Amino acid sequence: MKKINFSWNNRIGIGVMTGTSCDGIDISAVQFSGNSLSEFNVIISKSYPYPPEIKVFVNKCLTENVPIGDLSQFNYYISLVYGQSINQFIEQYLRLKPDFVAVHGQTIWHQPLSSDFFDKKVASTYQSINISALAKIIGLPVVGDFRAGDIALGGQGAPLVPIFDYYTFRSDKKSRVCVNIGGISNVSVIPKKCNLNEIIAYDCGPGNALIDFFTTEHFNKEYDENGEIARSGLFNKELFYNLIENDIYQQIQPPKSTGKEYYNNKFIHDSINLIPHLVNPKDVLNTLTHYTAYTIANNIKKYTDSSCEIIISGGGIHNQFLIDCLANYLRQYTINSTEQYGINPDYKESIAFAFLGYLFLNEENGNIPSATGANKETILGTLAI
């Protein structure tokens, strides 16, 4: 039987990320030098829009009992959508044939804390994609299913990007905290001179999720472009304090991870409904944006002081009002974008998944137990050829 023989030198991997926002597929081609894990070169990154039905379907899965037949079909459908975008990306932008593709899949459900199921306690996370089908569609080896191994070892299966943050942003001179503002926001605190197991990393709460949900519900748009609607509203103190009080996720100690199972329309309306009078939707959006920035800032302050450099990424970076609020809550800190370090902030996670695929193929551990809560380090992923 033919065995794929990967070596460390000059391998090109494609990383593919689709986050909880369901806004599209982010694809990055990355060349790994093989000299050290910190030496890689991003060849090119592109985004491909998702058909709008995907967001509707994924959001429906959070609140309704979706028929198993639909979930099965979605699993193949998403593989076709991935395949088409990856094929287009390779054809249009790459001269050299990539060695592998590493995919995240589309999260449908994330339940990292175990609960009773038949006679056992079971934790689970479900990223929809069929990597065997995808490998045939694109004619390349595909690494996927990165979260399961960590869950099996008692971890949250998340966050997985911190190992990439460590190899990319760790410094002997400066403590840094990487913040990604996707649908959910997460932090990786990387103290100066730290070892891998000294990283503190977890999902800190809402990223764009609450803002997106409310913008869609009241303004019939996918997101609040540049935060302009929120900026035009007024801050509502009562709602802000209701949100703080109701947000039990903020009271949990890390390791922890979350998703739209928690930060969704219900979360918003549970706080709005406590106010006896109507609140102007623009004011709600203003307050939700403030609240999102406030939780991110609070989580950063918990584990750092202002000498720590903040490095942000994710689609939330384009919401200027959110970033202004964040800067306001973190006045003493320096905030930079990953761009300053040659990493396009829209593609940090797709680059990180190429990195995770590279780790897998070199039989290197991918999880950080201090971040996920797993009982040991382990190789993450599965290969389809």
Ligand X SMILES: Nc1ncnc2c1ncn2[C@@H]1O[C@H](COP(=O)(O)OP(=O)(O)O)[C@@H](O)[C@H]1O
Q: Which of 224, 247, 309, 377 binds ligand X (CB under 6 A)?
A: 224
Tokens encoding 270: 């549970």
Cis previous bond, 159, omega within 30: yes
Q: Which helix (H) or strand (E) covers residue 116, if one does? A: strand 106-117
Cβ–Cβ under 8 Å, residues 159 and 179: no
What SS3 state is found at 106?
strand
Q: Does 318 sit near ligand X (CB under 6 A)?
A: yes
Is residue 172 a contact partner of residue 193, using CB atoms and an 8 Å limit? Answer: yes
Backbone angles phi, psi at 331, to 5 degrees: -55, -30
- Phi/psi for 8 (5° steps) reads -70, -20
Output 75 or 106, the one with its CB closest to ligand X. Answer: 106
Residue 93 CA to its chain's centroid (Å):
25
Q: Between residues 31 and 257, which has the closer beta carbon with respect to Mg ion? A: 257
Residues 129-188 that bind ligand X (CB under 6 A): 182-183
Q: Does 315 bind ligand X (CB under 6 A)?
A: yes
Is residue 19 part of the contact set for Mg ion (CB under 5 A)? yes
# of chain residues touching ligand X (CB under 6 A): 18
- 3-state secondary structure at position 93: helix
217 binding ligand X? (CB under 6 A): no
Size of the chain, expressed as the number of residues it contains:
385
Q: How far apart are CA 101 and CA 12, in angstroms?
A: 9
Shortest gap between Cβ of 286 and Mg ion (angstroms)? 24
Q: Which is nearer to ligand X, 28 or 31 (CB)?
A: 28
Structure tokens at 347: 């593609």
Which residue(s) pair with 337 in the sheet? 312
**Size of the residue set binding Mg ion (CB under 5 A):** 3
CB of 350 to Mg ion, least distance (A): 9
Using the contact rule CB under 5 A, the part of the chain among 21-29, 55-63, 68-76, 289-297 near Mg ion is 21-29
Name the binder of 99 from Mg ion, ligand X, none, CB < 5-8 A by kind: none
Which residues in 89-128 contact ligand X (CB under 6 A)? Answer: none
CB of 356 to Mg ion, least distance (A): 17
Per CB under 6 A, residues contacting ligand X are 19-21, 23, 182-183, 208, 212, 223-227, 314-316, 318-319
Per CB under 5 A, residues contacting Mg ion are 19, 21, 23
